[in-house]
Structure 1
Amino acid sequence: MKYYIILIVIINCIIMSMVDAIIMPPYFVKSFIKVLLFTVVPITFYIKSKDDSLRTMFIPKMNGIIFSFVIGVIIFFVITASYFGFKNIFDFSNVTTSLTEDIGVNVDNFMFVFIYINFINSFLEEFFFRGFAFLTLKRYVNKKFCYIFSSLTFALYHVAMIFTWVSPILVALAVLGLFIGGIIFDYINDRYENIYASWIIHMFANLGINTVGFILFTTIS
């Protein structure tokens, strides 16, 4: 089973990266493809293999939810404060151009994208990278490998989306941050055995990033 999970994660990340960086369909089409790859394919695996981790990863634990809410709020303020701290050091002007030309995000549809990324996209990624590629995979292989594999694929997957947005230095820093964030998310899920805790933190992180995006659209566009 472990080889099926590893192959599914790698292949789906490659396909989604090609969609993001090469094919670049309209945002709605890209989102539909992501739903298929990050939910339908793993669920098919669960049905075929009769693995019950799909059920257990959706059992909430209130202490984990409260903890994640507090951490999420802190992360939101760290992200937004970091933008204001570094905006005079790094050039962020290419972000809005890349979002419009490469992804099709603009001022008119930004609020739709804002809501989708914060709630739906964060769930898709948590289910796929933390639920499927970590909580389920760790049933079959060494836990240390699961930490590295889940976090590394999560970080590298995002390169296709951000490599044209900012300078290579910022891309490298973003990938490092995503890898460390993935490790932290995996640890939280490992502790609480569900994806709700990391999903809440992920939502707040996306909220912070999208708040910065909104600021950029309103000040640069």
Structure 2
Amino acid sequence: MSVAKIKRSVALLLFITLPVLMAPVDLFLAPNYWVKSIVKIILFILVPLSLNRYFKWVKVKDLFLLRRKQIKGIIILALGTYGVIIGAYLLLKDMFDFSMVTSQLATSMAINKNNFLLVFFYIPLVNAMIEEGFFRGFGFLTLNHFWPRWLSYTLSAVVFSLYHVAIMASWFSPLLFLLLIVSLVIAGLFFNYINEKTGSILTSYVIHAGANLAINTIGLSLFGII
């Protein structure tokens, strides 16, 4: 097998394997959100970066290049994403039962009303970057150098969706769960598209952070903080 084939095969295998390894940590093993976050940083950031030094899949600094004229449009998209998610919640909150979300957060992640404010800021600022670095930086943008475009698009979006779905499977009713799967796949494809246009994960990171901020705002309401 040629060096090029080894590089692309290892990249693909790693992108599929690491979320699989992370899933049981999220679901069963780690005692709280912060322990899970440390494991996530190791698997999603440190492992790919370490192997990238050997396989040289991508120049990491190139993933963070962003032209100044793109910033305004990205901020507008992030604010729009925030508004759409808040609006969707306001429309659906009387149709679906969201009460189990807070109890599941307390049971599986030790997140409660007392520590939620710290999580409120951590998720959009840090966790969103971890996920964009892995699913779009290492996933889509890196795989796109070695594999067909359709495969990179589809695989990155699907793995992104399934990873989150595995964590939140017990949080919602079956219908809302199905809507969640579809929404996450669409979000993954959209993130891939804007990353392809700009070549930078900063674009999807800002929008992802806006989405997380909206979800956390809803969390403030569910916890009775606002």
Scaled by the length of structure 1, what TM-score is found?
0.96
SS in 1 for 2:223: helix
Does structure 2 retain, via aligned residues, the 8 Å contact 1:2–1:137?
yes
| Structure 1 unmatched ranges of 5 or more | none
Runs of 4+ in 1 over 6 A off after TM superposition: none
Distance in 1 between residues matched to 2:12 and 2:206, nearest whole Å = 25
Distance in 2 between residues matched to 1:61 and 1:44, nearest whole Å = 28
SS in 1 for 2:172: coil
SS in 1 for 2:73: helix
Does structure 1 retain, via aligned residues, the 8 Å contact 2:66–2:202?
yes
SS in 2 for 1:57: helix
Are 2:152 and 1:146 aligned? yes
2:172 aligns with one of 166, 190, 208: 166
Indicate the residue corresponding to 2:39 in structure 1: 33
Are 2:198 and 1:192 aligned? yes
Q: Deviations over 1:36-68 (max 9, x none)?
A: 011001101210112343121111222332211
**Deviation at residue 219 of structure 1 after TM alignment:** 6.9
Indicate the residue corresponding to 1:123 in structure 2: 129
Q: Which amino acid aligns with 1:5?
A: A
**RMSD (Å) for aligned C-alpha atoms:** 1.3
Q: Deviations over 1:63-104 (max 9, x none)?
A: 332211101101101111111111110001101100111111
SS in 1 for 2:23: helix
Indicate the residue corresponding to 1:17 in structure 2: 23
**Deviation at residue 199 of structure 1 after TM alignment:** 0.3
SS in 2 for 1:51: coil
Distance in 2 between residues matched to 1:7 and 1:168, nearest whole Å = 31
Indicate the residue corresponding to 1:216 in structure 2: 222
Mapping for residues 3-14 of structure 1, pairs under 5 Å: 3-14=9-20
Indicate the residue corresponding to 1:177 in structure 2: 183
**Deviation at residue 198 of structure 1 after TM alignment:** 0.5
Total equivalences in the alignment: 220
Indicate the residue corresponding to 2:107 in structure 1: 101
Q: Which amino acid aligns with 1:9?
A: F
Does structure 1 retain, via aligned residues, the 8 Å contact 2:132–2:204?
yes
Does structure 2 retain, via aligned residues, the 8 Å contact 1:95–1:165?
yes
1:173/1:196 CA distance change after superposition, 3 Å? same
Does structure 2 retain, via aligned residues, the 8 Å contact 1:42–1:132?
yes
Are 2:2 and 1:2 aligned? no
SS in 1 for 2:209: helix
Are 2:61 and 1:58 aligned? no
Are 2:211 and 1:205 aligned? yes
Scaled by the length of structure 2, what TM-score is found?
0.94
Q: Which amino acid aligns with 2:77?
A: I
Distance in 1 between residues matched to 2:37 and 2:57, nearest whole Å = 27
Does structure 2 retain, via aligned residues, the 8 Å contact 1:19–1:25?
no
2:92 aligns with one of 86, 90, 94: 86
1:52/1:93 CA distance change after superposition, 3 Å? closer
**Deviation at residue 211 of structure 1 after TM alignment:** 0.4
Distance in 2 between residues matched to 1:219 and 1:30, nearest whole Å = 25
